[in-house]
Structure 1
Amino acid sequence: MIRLLGPAAVAAALALTIVQPARAADDEMIQAQAGVWLVAPESGAKGCRLTFGTNAVSGGYEITGADACAVPLPALTAAKIWNFTDDGALAIVDGGGKPLMRFQQEEGSPWESEGADPTWLLPALGDVDHVPTVASLAGAWRIQTPDGKPICDITLTTDKDQDGTSKMSPSGDCASEVGDLKLSLWATEGFGLVMLGNDGSSLSFDMKPDGSFQKSEEEEGEPLLLVRK
């Protein structure tokens, strides 16, 4: 997971890495990272969009659009450069090379900053300016097919189990493709939502720009949607 370091620690960590443009990254990695990204607090507060370019500048690659961060994340208004570091992190720095934010990524997870108040770095999703939270998603939902056929009604709650994972309760008449999973817990990560069963089963969804969810492409089986009731 990615945590946000204090200024002194970040400066020390980046002093030897933000010198040459993406030494540890090849052209394919740079192209894959280019585009519009949302930087937003894990808390659900508003974030801002930054555009990662592929034009090489001193210390990395250009960032545009930082003016949009003036209100939600004022520290990023000075963002001018992004780059991968030798330890696999992604750093955002100002025009003089001063570190502003540093992200890391575990396989299968979004970029996340370090620190007590994590921040996500996610591919921008339409006009969405914040990440969903357990509190914002709690309530009644329906899993259905794309043509609207109900599969399972569920309730996402903010109640936690002994490990701190939020609980959910499916209705008793779910179709076997969901009912057999015996889902009882759920969690969010960036724009993703995963439902968990006690036996290790799971069902993952990805958020859409309208606030609904679709079954993740990595999941097997027919497409499913998750919509509010």
Structure 2
Amino acid sequence: MVRFIPRLMAPAAVLLACGLAYGQGIDPDILKAQAGTYLVAPEDGASGCRLTLETGEAIGGYSVSGQASCIKPLPALAEAYSWNFDGNGGVILIDATRKVLARFVENEGSPMKTEDGAPLLLIAAPDGVDHLPSVASLAGIWTMQRPNGERLCGVTLNGRVDAEGNAPLSLSGDCAANVARLKLAVWHIEGFGLTLMSLDGSSLGFDMRADGNFDKSKEEGGKPLSLVRR
């Protein structure tokens, strides 16, 4: 299953960071790998804000910028003054008094996410996007096509989610043979990654574009392919 995921530390880097308490020096390569601009947004698809985790030192850790973008959607995070590693491979946002405002826990292969209350994700996002896609927002009719517009299949994404977070999908009766033989039957959204799956293990992963449509993940290989909402 291929998903659009944020920049994450390599396993060796995680082990090193886990042994460090707040305020201790972090290996510059680990710090640089985690630094960058992220979308912080509710998992349910509500609007979020963009924060930049910087490498300059600040009270409690390292400097943060972009807090003003959080004033309306996530006002508590507008008070973020710094960020740091939490000692367990995750990331925390801290105010000027060193109070932890949000703790993002690392999930292997998935975006960092808070565990208390309504989940917030810390994730790299396409430019101009201020919220995560949700099952409800993606349910509907899509066209699977080549970049030149050649139609390969119609795909209807159903919004009924099961206990594993998957929802049914159906394909049109005129799909190209290379699509029909995948026997795609369910779909799953995680972060900005959309995965279409069969019941026997086949899958096709897509990453969301800034316009809300999807392109086949580069990790999939093969010819370019897009999912475009009808």
Cα separation, 2, equivalents of 1:33 and 1:162: 32
Unaligned runs of 5+ in 2: 1-19
SS at 1:102 equivalent: strand
**Post-superposition offset of 1:205:** 0.6
SS in 1 for 2:47: coil
Which residue in the other structure is 2:6 paired with?
A: none
Partner of 1:118: 119
Deviation digits for residues 127-181 of structure 1 (CA, Å, limit 9, x no counterpart): 1111010111111101111111111110001124575521100112222332211
Show the 5 A alignment for 1:33-112.
33-112=34-113
Distance 1:21 1:39 in 2: 25
Match of 2:13 in 1: none
Residue matched to 1:166:
167
| 2:213–2:228 contact (8 Å) kept in structure 1 | yes
C-alpha separation in 2, matches of 1:30 and 1:177:
44
| 2:21 is the alignment partner of 1:17 | yes
Alignment of 1:179-198 (within 5 A): 179-198=180-199
Give 2:102's aligned amino acid: M
What is the distance in 2 between the residues matched to 1:31 and 1:19? 16
TM (normalized to structure 1)? 0.86
Structure 2 residue aligned with 1:27: 28
Matched to 1:18, the amino acid is: Y
1:221 matched to which residue of 2?
Answer: 222
Equivalents in 1 of 2:152, 2:29: separation in Å?
40
Inter-partner Cα distance in structure 2 for 1:90 and 1:97: 14
Corresponding letter in the other structure for 1:50: L
CA 1:28 to 1:178, structure 2 compared with 1: closer, same or farther past 3 Å? farther
- Once residues 163 and 99 of structure 1 are traced to their aligned partners in structure 2, the CA distance between those partners, rounded to angstroms, is 31
Partners of 2:47 and 2:162 in 1: CA distance: 28
Residue matched to 2:9: none
Q: Secondary structure at the match of 1:115?
A: coil
Query: Number of aligned pairs?
Result: 212
Residue 136 of structure 2: aligned partner: 135
Greater shift after overlay, 204-213 or 151-160?
151-160
Letter of the structure 2 residue corresponding to residue 224 of structure 1: L
**8 A Cα contact 2:43 2:118, kept in partner:** yes
TM-score calculated relative to the size of structure 2:
0.86
Q: Percent identity?
A: 49
Contact preservation (8 Å) 2:165, 2:188:
no
- What is the alpha-carbon root mean square deviation over aligned residues? 1.9
Could you say if the C-alpha distance between residues 122 and 199 of structure 1 is closer, same or farther in structure 2, counting changes exceeding 3 Å?
same
- List gaps (5 residues or longer) in structure 1: 1-15
